[in-house]
């Protein structure tokens, strides 16, 4: 099995743990506060990791160019914008429609990757991505009680359009992170990935701190007070991001995003066997399709 696949599966697994911890932190803080905690407590960890990597490998940290900073900072800003729009989608009465359309990030990444980096996916790889995407849609609509017809009809309404925008923003962020890492001169792929993550996390932490200080300064104080759980959120968040960035550095972001959908498969299997939740026939078909698409990418992409 290729290294990028292992890294992507590891990223999806750790991200699931981070999401669970962040939900607990959100109960004590606002959603923005919990998100900021991820960057605030994760930043010193990635900086320490980057320094340790430089010492262990005896490599110098790559110097950032204007091109690198453009890709890294725009990618970081776009990701934050996607997070903010996602929160808006969650606040809508028909948020399930919007959330389903956010899953189009997998398909949209194919187009963004081609436009930005000129990277194409092979015919079997594209079929795998398409099958995995359809599986995710089947899972999402099955759990939300939506039909594919109603989902298509919803395209004329704002929730679906917002969801498409969220998917596009996340696709741009993923491709820009890969572009930033590839623009660095030399260095082992882990060094380039860690360097990119350090610059992105720094920009995100600073920009969120400024925004929170302007809008809700009390949240900053509450984040610091919640440091025990905040450290765990920061640790799992930065480890998951490190795996994602390493995978992005090694492989086309479209493939990485598609294989990353294995997180949903894990969640559904866990709900069935660990929590004894019933799975509808449509959800089971979605799990099977997603798994088959991922397998096609792994074997033939």
Report how far residue 100's alpha carbon sits from residue 235's, in angstroms, rounded to the nearest whole number: 29
Residue range 247-264: average pLDDT? 94
Report how far residue 232's alpha carbon sits from residue 22's, in angstroms, rounded to the nearest whole number: 9
In a domain, 244, yes or no: yes
Residue 82 in contact with residue 102, Cβ under 8 Å? no
Find the range with the poorest average confidence among 21-25, 125-129, 200-204. Answer: 21-25
Residue 170 in contact with residue 221, Cβ under 8 Å? no
Query: Structurally, how many domains does the chain consist of?
Result: 1
**Parent domain of 211:** 3-296
b/e burial code for range 113-134 (CB count within 10 A of at least 16 → b): beebeebebeeebbbbbbbbbb
pLDDT bin (cut points 50, 70, 90) of residue 286 is confident
In a domain, 301, yes or no: no
In a domain, 43, yes or no: yes
pLDDT bin (cut points 50, 70, 90) of residue 147 is low
- In this predicted model, what pLDDT tens digit does every residue of 190-200 receive, in sequence order? 999 999 999 99
In a domain, 249, yes or no: yes
User: Cβ–Cβ contacts within 10 Å for residue 71, how many?
Assistant: 24
94 pLDDT more than 80: no
In a domain, 268, yes or no: yes
In a domain, 73, yes or no: yes
- In this predicted model, what pLDDT tens digit does every residue of 32-52 receive, in sequence order? 899 999 999 999 999 999 999
User: Cβ–Cβ contacts within 10 Å for residue 281, how many?
Assistant: 9
pTM above 0.75, yes or no: yes
């Amino acid at each position: 099995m290729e290294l990028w696949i292992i890294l992507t599966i590891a990223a999806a697994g750790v991200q699931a743990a981070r999401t669970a911890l962040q939900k607990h932190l959100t109960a004590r803080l606002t959603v923005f506060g919990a998100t900021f905690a991820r960057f605030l407590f994760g930043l010193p960890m990635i900086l320490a990791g980057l320094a340790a990597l430089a010492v262990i490998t005896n490599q110098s940290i790559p110097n950032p160019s204007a091109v690198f900073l453009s890709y890294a900072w725009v990618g970081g800003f776009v990701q934050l914008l996607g997070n903010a729009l996602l929160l808006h989608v969650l606040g809508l009465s028909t948020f399930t429609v919007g959330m389903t359309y956010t899953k189009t990030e997998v398909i949209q990444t194919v187009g963004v990757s081609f436009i930005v980096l000129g990277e194409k996916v092979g015919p079997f790889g594209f079929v795998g991505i398409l099958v995995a995407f359809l599986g995710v849609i089947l899972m999402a609509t099955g759990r939300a009680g939506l039909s594919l017809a109603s989902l298509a009809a919803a395209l004329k309404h704002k929730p679906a359009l917002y969801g498409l925008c969220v998917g596009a923003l996340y696709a741009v962020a993923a491709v820009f992170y890969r572009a930033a890492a590839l623009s660095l001169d030399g260095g082992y792929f882990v060094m380039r990935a860690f360097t990119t993550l350090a610059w992105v996390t720094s920009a995100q932490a600073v920009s969120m701190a400024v925004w929170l200080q302007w809008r809700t300064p009390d949240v900053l104080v509450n984040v610091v007070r919640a440091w025990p759980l905040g450290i765990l959120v920061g640790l799992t968040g930065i480890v998951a991001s490190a795996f994602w960035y390493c995978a992005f550095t090694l492989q086309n972001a479209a493939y990485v995003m598609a294989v990353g959908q294995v997180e949903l498969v894990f969640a559904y299997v866990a709900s069935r066997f660990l929590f004894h939740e019933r799975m509808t026939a449509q959800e089971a078909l979605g799990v099977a399709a997603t798994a088959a698409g991922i397998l096609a990418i792994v074997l033939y992409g």
